[in-house]
Amino acid sequence: MKRRDAASDWIAEALALRLTANEAATLVQQLYCSLKEWIQHGELTAGDTLPSSRYLARALGISRNTVLATMDRLLAEGLLIARQGAGLYVANLPALLTRAELPPPLPVRYSSRGNKLLTLSGTLSHGHRAFAPGVPALDLFPREQWQRLLRRHYYHAEMAWMDYQTSGGLPVLKAALCDYLRLSRAVRCQPEQIVITQGAQQAFELITQLLTDHGDSVWMEEPGYGGAQACFLASGLTVTPIPVDKEGLNPSLAPKNAPAPRLIYVTPSHQYPSGVTMPVPRRLALLEYASRAGSWIIEDDYDSEFRYGTPPTPSLQGLAEQASVIYVGTFSKVLNPGLRLGYLVLPDTLAHDFRRAHARLHREGNYPVQSALAEFITRGHFTRHIARMRAAYRQRQACLRTALTPAVAAGLRLSDGHAGMHLLAELDTIEEEEMLVKRASEAGITLSPLSRYYLSENKRPGLVLGYAGSTESELMNAGEWLSEAWRRLHH
Ligand SMILES: Cc1ncc(COP(=O)(O)O)c(C=O)c1O
């Protein structure tokens, strides 16, 4: 195709073949892409002159302005050079630009932190199917009401909200949240102690960044929440799994020679995933241990609102005179995880620095959404939504129990389900767990094996059966399938 002397002819002919009037790309984009490609592939080389804009426009039957706009773009990128009186010619480009001389792609070598993170990301659930743990009822979220609120708050958004923010969240949201937490969760707080984050996960990351060094020790409930495990392990912390008994994390079961932890992560209201609640004497023992060892307790209060029968247990933070507890909350369960809104309630001694570090690292923002959420809370929509979800989840759980009745009658052990968004089914062996997970996957059902929530080799087999995010008919179908699959394994 290349003919240096008669470049004008071949360029015009080749461009005419490529231009299509009904393509989504504009004529300028089409001309630009073709010429750039020829330069990169070496069809046009350094010193080649381009036809004049008048000649090209005439030959292609297009406006001269279109040709000039294309050439301007190539000139601006340095692919062409204008020579006084001699028109445009191809610049002398570094060899790297031509594809033939491109080096092979850089081999990917992740950091050891990155490798750990990727190993821990293998089991991320995707899609939204029956039994997905931790997913709220998206079908029951008041979408229209929320969208109306959002529209209004975007419309009335203050100009200052478009700027960089450093206050740790919109003050009206922090004030509304503070009232809610004081009343509903017995959290001791002032709005200045709150930092709004993009979910609990970002709160764990901020705590890890600010309060730990590589190699520091952190105690983690065993079994425990994968998101927190991933955050600590990928940050190079030494994670010591502490067994959970009927009262939650038991400090007296910590290895005798284990170093004093910098952080202790707990879900005392409703341990994830075992479902046990930490009673007050164990809470006091934990607070006492943490104060002696100089450890910060992370209280992850992710779904405490959903209790069926008894009122929610007050927070651990509210018991702590000596303020060694960092309370982490999230709107992912009570509203929806797509919102990416959570928060930290920090001791006074930490609040100011966490606010600064958060602004430095994460560049907080989205104040119109925070403003809408503040109104959602202060007008009572939030507590009404929680009450509605509590009733719906109780019903969904009952539906799942009904579907599992034949298996339970034949010996399947199910958790009491007094709280939360999932039931736990205990199994006898890891082989049984593996078999059920595999058969479910073949049937298009995602089952979460309990063994996945363990870091040590001392794993207990079981299934974490989320019910909040599925409709009753989905739960009925999946539950009946599981009941039958379990019975078949046991006969
Ligand atoms: C124990 C626990 N903590 C926190 C979260 C919420 O995390 P986020 O606010 O990042 O969505 C979850 C969600 O699955 C969870 O199970």
Helix axes 430-442, 472-489, angle to 10 degrees: 130
Residue from 329, 319, 265, 321 nearest 295 by CA: 265
Q: What is the pLDDT of residue 7?
A: 66
CA of 191 to the centre of ligand 1 (A): 22
Please give the residue that has the higher pLDDT: either 479 or 119: 479
Predicted pLDDT of residue 175: 98
CB of 376 closer than 6 angstroms to any ligand 1 atom: no
pLDDT-based confidence at 83, cuts 50/70/90?
confident
CA-based nearest residue to 412, from 330, 319, 320, 488:
488
DSSP string, 321-362: TT--EEEEEESTTTT-GGG--EEEE--HHHHHHHHHHHHHHH
Q: What is the pTM of this model?
A: 0.87
Three-state secondary structure readout of 277-316: CCCHHHHHHHHHHHHHHCCEEEEECCCCCCECCCCCCCCC
* 347 Cβ contact partners less than 8 Å away, ≥ 6 residues apart: 193, 323, 324, 325, 326
In CATH terms, the fold of domain 141-381 is Aspartate Aminotransferase; domain 2 (3.40.640)
Q: State the closest ligand 1 atom to the C-alpha of 202, by its place in the atom list counted from 1.
A: 10
pLDDT at residue 491 in the model: 76
Ligand 1 pocket residue status of 453, Cβ below 6 Å? no
Q: What is the mean pLDDT of the chain?
A: 92
How many Å lie between the centroid of ligand 1 and the Cα of residue 270? Answer: 12
Share of the chain above pLDDT 90, in %: 79
> Which of 125, 202, 332, 464 for mutating ligand 1's site (highest number of atoms within 8 Å of CB)?
332
For residues 302 and 332, the answer to whether their CB atoms sit within 8 Å is yes
**167 Cα to the center of ligand 1, angstroms:** 24
Q: What is the mean pLDDT of the segment spanning 2-13?
A: 66
**pLDDT of 457 above 70:** yes
pLDDT of 124 above 70: no
CA 201 / ligand 1 centre spacing (Å): 7
E-only strand ranges, 65-160: 80-83, 87-90
Mutate to test the pocket of ligand 1, among 229, 232, 244, 333 (most ligand atoms within 8 A of CB): 333
Return the residue matching tokens 């995880």.
337
Q: Whose CA is nearest to atom 2 of ligand 1?
A: 302
Q: What is the DSSP letter of 116?
A: H
The pick from 300, 327, 340 for probing ligand 1's pocket by mutation, whose C-beta has the most ligand atoms within 8 angstroms, reads 300
Under 8 Å between Cβ of 405 and 482: no
451 lines ligand 1 (CB under 6 A): no
Instruction: State which fold the 384-489 domain adopts.
Output: Aspartate Aminotransferase, domain 1 (3.90.1150)
- Is there an atom of ligand 1 within 6 Å of 200 CB? yes
Ligand 1 centroid to residue 471 C-alpha, Å? 21
CA–CA separation, 215 and 262 (whole Å): 10
- Give 122's pLDDT tier (boundaries 50, 70, 90): confident
Within 8 A by CB and 6+ apart from 437, the residues are: 447, 449, 463
Which one of 1.10.10.10, 3.30.360.10, 2.60.120.590, 3.90.1150.10 gives the CATH number of domain 2-90? 1.10.10.10
The type of residue at 366 is N
Can you tell me the distance from the alpha carbon of 316 to that of 248, in angstroms, rounded to the nearest whole number? Answer: 13
Decide: 226 in ligand 1 pocket, CB within 6 A.
no
Pocket test for ligand 1, best of 125, 225, 299 (most atoms within 8 A of CB): 225
The DSSP code for 106 is P
Give the span between the Cα atoms of 26 and 49, in whole angstroms.
Answer: 24
Distance CA 132, CA 289 (A): 35
The answer to whether 437 touches 449, Cβ cutoff 8 Å, is yes
Separation of 457 CA from ligand 1 center, angstroms? Answer: 24
Does residue 5 have a pLDDT over 50? Answer: no
Q: 100 pLDDT exceeds 80?
A: no
Taking only the tens place, the pLDDT of each residue in 8-30 is 778 889 998 888 876 678 899 99
Q: Which atom of ligand 1 is nearest to the CA of 342?
A: 9
Atom of ligand 1 nearest to the CA of 300: 3
For the CA atoms of 181, 186, 191, 196, the dihedral, rounded to the nearest 10 degrees, stands at -50
Q: What percent of the chain has pLDDT over 70?
A: 95
Residue listed under structure tokens 């929530």: 453
> What is the model's pLDDT at position 329?
97
Dump pLDDT digits (tens) for 330-388: 999 999 999 999 999 999 999 999 999 999 999 999 999 999 999 999 999 999 999 99
Q: Which amino acid belongs to residue 365?
A: G
pLDDT in tens, 134-178: 999 999 999 999 999 999 999 999 999 999 999 999 999 999 999
- Closest ligand 1 atom to residue 330 Cα is 9
Q: What is the predicted pLDDT for the residue at 490? A: 86
Q: What is the pLDDT of residue 25?
A: 82
pLDDT of residue 106: 87
For 107-116, what is the mean pLDDT? 90
Going by C-alpha positions, the residue among 7, 9, 83, 91 that lies closest to residue 45 is 91
Give a three-class secondary structure readout of 234-249.
HCCCEEEEEEEECCEE
How would residue 119 be classed by pLDDT, with cut points 50, 70 and 90?
A: confident
Q: Where in the chain is the domain with CATH 3.90.1150.10?
A: 384-489
Q: Which atom of ligand 1 is least distant from the CA of 199?
A: 9
Q: Which amino acid is at 62?
A: I
- The residues, ordered by sequence, that sit 6+ positions from 34 with a Cβ below 8 Å of its Cβ are 14, 15, 18
Range list for CATH 3.40.640.10 in the chain:
141-381
**What is the model's pLDDT at position 102?**
66
Please report which confidence band the pLDDT of residue 128 belongs to, taking 50, 70 and 90 as the band edges.
Answer: low
Each residue of 290-332: pLDDT tens digit? Answer: 999 999 999 999 999 999 988 878 999 999 866 799 999 999 9
Q: Which residue bears the tokens 């089409």?
A: 30
User: Which of 81-85, 231-235, 340-344 is predicted with the least confidence, judged by mean pLDDT?
Assistant: 81-85
Residues 6+ apart with CB under 8 A from 122: none
Residue among 196, 221, 302 to mutate when testing ligand 1 (max atoms within 8 A of CB): 302
> Is 337 near ligand 1, meaning CB less than 6 Å away?
yes
For 272-289, what is the mean pLDDT? 94
Q: In what order do the strands lie in the sheet with 248-249?
A: 194-197, 342-345, 325-330, 296-300, 263-266, 217-222, 238-245, 248-249
Q: Could you tell me if the CB of 342 is within 6 A of ligand 1?
A: yes
Per-residue CA distances from 294 to 20, 286, 323, 351 (Å)? 71, 12, 12, 18
Candidates 79, 221, 175, 98; CA nearest to 374 is 175
In the predicted model, is pLDDT for residue 1 greater than 70? no
